[in-house]
Amino acid sequence: MSSRYSKTRIKRDKSGIKLYSTTYYPDISIEDEDTFIYPSFGERLDTLAHKYYNDVSLWWIIAKANGIKGKLTPSVDTQIRIPSNIPKILEDFDNLNT
């Protein structure tokens, strides 16, 4: 898997400083095949991505699907949706950022 930033455009301002454009994330619709869990104490989004996708770099998919911002450790009393259609999500991501 490539980095989620591999498609982020880089440009330079007038003084030559590198600037990154915004990385856009697709909306992730609910599918019948999605999994719903309550995370164990100490589980993080990256460990959940490894457990369900075998790829820690896909933590952002779980975060986006659940509206999680600014934290990697979800609360144990919060149900988390694990999206199932990863190829479509990644295709949508690529289409938004090309």
Contact present, 74 and 68 (Cβ < 8 Å)? yes
- The whole model's pTM is what? 0.81
Residue 80: how many CB atoms within 10 A of its CB? 20
Question: What domains can you pick out in the chain, each with its CATH number?
Answer: 29-96 (3.10.350)
Q: Return per-residue pLDDT of the chain as tens, 98 residues.
A: 456 666 666 777 788 887 777 888 999 999 999 999 999 999 999 999 999 999 999 999 999 999 999 889 999 999 999 999 999 999 999 998 87
Which pair of structure tokens corresponds to residue 90? 């990644």
